[in-house]
Amino acid sequence: MWRGYFKKATNMTFIDIDESCLRFEESEINILIGDQSDKSFLNKVIENHGPFDVIIDDGSHLCNDQITSFKSLWPAIKDNGIYLVEDTHTSYWPGFGGGYRNEASFIEFSKRIVDRMHTWWTDQDELFPYNQQPININSVRFYDSIIAFTKKENRTHPFNITSVNGKISKDRRAFGLRERESLFDKDSKFHQN
């Protein structure tokens, strides 16, 4: 099935826990038997088969396994690559480690990534402390039961560089944009009758 979607792929690697899947192995299609929650196994996969253009997680659907796999495999995604997690509706099922707004679910994990992407823009440092480490996630897209992440290496944010008495400082305050009036503020002329 995947060969039909990725016709130009020169090498495809699949992970499954079921040994009967080995029958699908052929030239340029690697079938690896292992557990997606096993970090040492995932590290061997990366070492022997990475880096990857695309990763599709259609594994156990357990929230903890999805998170473990993402944390382990994301560094092996190439720049401009995509990491897709299927069946994320299980994040709402307690039997899969989820539940509505359960912090341990993959959906909530993904929402925290969105927050992490936007810590640059907030002035609520006590809630969203700025992390100096650049984030290499370019986008997070939520679909019905699918979340897709795209990678962009060396993604940086603009700094407002100032000099006071010869001391240079970088400010993440987005060049004073927070202090500017919005077109949609209640006091704006757009709200006057």
Could you give the residue numbers annotated as active site?
Answer: 61
C-alpha span between 191 and 174 (Å, rounded): 26
C-alpha closest to that of 107 among 73, 142, 72, 65:
142
Structure tokens at 57: 């997680």
Q: Could you give the C-alpha distances from 46 to 9, 24, 72, 73, in angstroms and in order?
A: 18, 21, 9, 7
Q: How far apart (Å, rounded) are the C-alpha atoms in residues 67 and 74?
A: 10
Beta bridge partners, 150, equal 82, 139
Strand ranges for 72-115 from DSSP E:
77-86
**CA dist list (Å): 70 to 3, 66, 131, 135, 161:** 23, 6, 20, 15, 35
